[in-house]
Structure 1
Amino acid sequence: MQPGAFRAILVTKGRKTGKEHAVWLRAVSYDNMVYFSRRNEHSDWLKNALVNHTVRVEWDNRSHSGVASLVTDRVLAQKISELKYPGEERAQEVRIVLQIRLDDMNNG
């Protein structure tokens, strides 16, 4: 998968209900990982993924399971913003970045 932004569905497990929660988001592929980001922590998908780390990411009519974690490396978080918003001012904003290590990314 080439580095850059694309549209994907992130499926999390509700931290309160336990039900699946699916949302369309702009994702970023970089260094064999998929990333999602927010300006702040006020989103159900982010809160869910931080409580229940097992998630699914769907794009190109394929579903990929993976494990979510928060990015703490500020340099990496900045790189993801630049890939997500190339040439835009908001690429310089400090964002909360969630990384997904997909189980099958290295298997084709």
Structure 2
Amino acid sequence: MEIKEKLFRPILITKGRKTSREHRVMLRAVNHNGKIYFSRHRPDGDWFQNALVNPLVKIQYNNSMLIGNAKLVTDEKLNEEISNLKYPGEERSKEKRVAIEITLQAN
């Protein structure tokens, strides 16, 4: 399955860094340059920390399950670009955020 939308709301499934159980959360995601991005204000959220510790993640969307590898986005310009794409025309697009980048595995 290929995701065509630039902005969409999938369920991100991570493996708990403490419990090893699946952790599911619906988030706003950005599809940009063949990668999927999730962001937040601070890196303290469970899903964010889980993805950094256990980078193999799943994305559930439109009755499909995608698998990918997560990594921290360290490029500040890319973080800004993701924020602008996530919140187009909104004031909060200017807020500093942290993001993870998901590289999907081939089907």
Distance in 2 of aligned mates of 1:84 and 1:2:
15
Tell me, yes or no, if structure 1 residue 54 matches structure 2 residue 51. Answer: no
Q: TM-score of the superposition, structure 2-length normalised?
A: 0.93
Q: In angstroms, what is the RMSD of aligned CA positions?
A: 1.1
Structure number with the higher strand fraction is 1
Q: How many residues are matched?
A: 105
Gaps of 5+ in 2: none
Where does residue 45 of structure 2 map in the other structure? Answer: 43
Residue identity in the other structure for 1:72: T
Where does residue 69 of structure 1 map in the other structure? Answer: 71
Distance in 2 of aligned mates of 1:19 and 1:51:
13
Secondary structure at the counterpart of residue 27 of structure 2: strand
Note the C-alpha offset of 1:3. Answer: 5.9
- State the Cα deviation string for residues 21-54 of structure 1 (Å, max 9, x = none): 0100000000000000000112100010000010
Secondary structure at the counterpart of residue 35 of structure 1: strand
Note the C-alpha offset of 1:2. Answer: 3.9
Distance in 2 of aligned mates of 1:31 and 1:3:
12
Gaps of 5+ in 1: none
Q: TM-score of the superposition, structure 1-length normalised?
A: 0.93
Distance in 2 of aligned mates of 1:3 and 1:73:
23
Q: Give identity over the alignment, percent.
A: 50
